[in-house]
């Protein structure tokens, strides 16, 4: 059995990296964080302080400490001695191409380097790295300290042992990792989000409903079910006692006819302005921090409910 990971390096400590730091600390780990921004240490500190009460409610380990971290501006020095690296630098190949190879040079061949990239390809990220098979994508959903999902992306050149190690590690810190077996831009969950949003934008563009009503069609309807099960399982229930087989026989023809009518909006400046105005009206003066706090409070309550059921 592999030795439990106790020391994690966070390379790139913006919003995502700082949230990752809080998550790892809540599981009793030591964290070394690195970022070129002078304001990064303060952001990390504030993020951990804000997240800690919630993480304690959600099951921080008894040995967890919100102060068991340090900052190291030099990313190479930050990863020395690390047993797992979570890279969360800006979403650009040119940034990661400069960052990842020198990190890989100082780490043993079994240390996984996982990129939080939301859409870049791991095969492209690893191509100039020493022991490239252990460089992969470990994409969280925002905020990482709350959302369980992590997409572990396999693909050409990925070492299966590194994929297995990343899956085991994320499970050990309370995440729900899924393996993406084939590289595609945007991975899996973001592509699903993009498909839904494309149709949402089309419906606004076509005058079918307002921005607020399109959002309510999800948040007050299927979005509530999606917190419990995904689209395949949801339609399995829609088939009644006959399940998915009955759904396929009796309801699938209708669904496929809707597919044929889905839109492909052209996001012109005018449409962008319409979407911005619609969201502005929908949020009714609430600031982004206020909306994020409300979202996180709901997420925390939902996660606590799921733990009890």
Neighbour-count burial of 73, counting CB atoms closer than 10 A to its CB (0-12 exposed, 13-18 middle, 19+ buried):
middle
Q: Are residues 159 and 218 in the same domain?
A: no
Q: Are residues 157 and 239 in the same domain?
A: no
CATH number of the domain that residue 274 is part of: 1.10.1040.10
pLDDT, tens digit only, all 309 positions of the chain: 567 899 999 999 999 999 999 999 999 999 999 999 999 999 999 999 999 999 999 989 999 999 999 999 999 999 999 999 999 999 999 999 999 999 999 999 999 999 999 999 999 999 999 999 999 999 999 999 999 999 999 988 999 999 999 999 999 999 999 999 999 999 999 999 999 999 999 999 999 999 999 999 999 999 999 999 999 999 999 999 999 999 999 999 999 999 999 999 999 999 999 999 999 999 999 999 999 999 999 999 999 998 888
Total of domains in the chain? 2
CATH number of the domain that residue 129 is part of: 3.40.50.720
- Residue 253 inside a domain? The answer is yes
Predicted confidence at residue 3, as pLDDT, reads 79
Q: Are residues 196 and 175 in the same domain?
A: no
φ and ψ at 124, to 5 degrees? -80, -35
The pTM assigned to this predicted structure is: 0.93
Q: Are residues 148 and 196 in the same domain?
A: no
- Residue 231 inside a domain? The answer is yes
For 114, the domain range is 7-180
Single residue among 180, 206, 224 that ends a domain in this structure: 180
Please give the Cα distance from 61 to 26 (Å, whole number).
Answer: 6
Q: Are residues 155 and 280 in the same domain?
A: no
- Residue 1 inside a domain? The answer is no
Q: Are residues 159 and 200 in the same domain?
A: no
Q: Are residues 221 and 103 in the same domain?
A: no
- Residue 2 inside a domain? The answer is no
Q: Are residues 126 and 219 in the same domain?
A: no
Neighbour-count burial of 147, counting CB atoms closer than 10 A to its CB (0-12 exposed, 13-18 middle, 19+ buried):
middle
Q: Are residues 74 and 200 in the same domain?
A: no
């Amino acid at each position: 059995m592999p030795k439990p990971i106790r020391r994690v390096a966070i390379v790139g400590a913006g919003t995502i990296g700082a949230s990752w730091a809080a998550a790892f600390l809540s599981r009793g780990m030591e964290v070394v964080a690195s970022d070129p921004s002078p304001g990064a240490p303060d952001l990390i500190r504030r993020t951990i302080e804000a997240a800690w009460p919630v993480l304690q409610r959600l099951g921080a380990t008894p040995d967890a400490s919100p102060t068991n971290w340090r900052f190291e501006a030099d990313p190479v020095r930050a990863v020395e001695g690390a047993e797992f690296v979570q890279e969360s630098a800006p979403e650009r190949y040119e940034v990661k191409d400069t960052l990842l190879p020198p990190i890989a040079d100082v780490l043993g061949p079994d240390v996984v380097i996982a990129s939080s990239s939301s859409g870049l390809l791991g095969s492209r990220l690893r191509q100039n790295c020493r022991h490239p098979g252990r460089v992969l994508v470990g994409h969280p959903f925002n905020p990482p300290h709350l959302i369980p999902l992590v997409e572990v992306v396999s693909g050409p050149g990925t070492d299966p042992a590194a994929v297995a190690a990343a899956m085991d590690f994320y499970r050990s810190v309370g995440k729900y990792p899924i393996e993406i077996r084939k590289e595609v831009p945007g991975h899996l969950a973001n592509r699903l989000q993009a498909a839904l949003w494309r149709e949402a934008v089309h419906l606004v563009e076509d005058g079918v409903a307002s921005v607020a009503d399109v959002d309510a069609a999800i948040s007050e309807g299927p979005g509530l079910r999606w917190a419990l099960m995904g689209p395949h399982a949801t339609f399995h229930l829609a088939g009644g006692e006959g399940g998915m087989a009955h759904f396929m026989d009796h309801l699938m023809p209708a669904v496929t006819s809707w597919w044929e009518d889905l839109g492909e909006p052209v996001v012109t400046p005018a449409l962008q302005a319409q979407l911005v105005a619609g969201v502005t009206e929908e949020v009714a003066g609430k600031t982004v921090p206020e909306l994020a706090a409300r979202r996180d409070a709901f997420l925390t309550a939902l996660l606590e409910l799921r733990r009890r059921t």
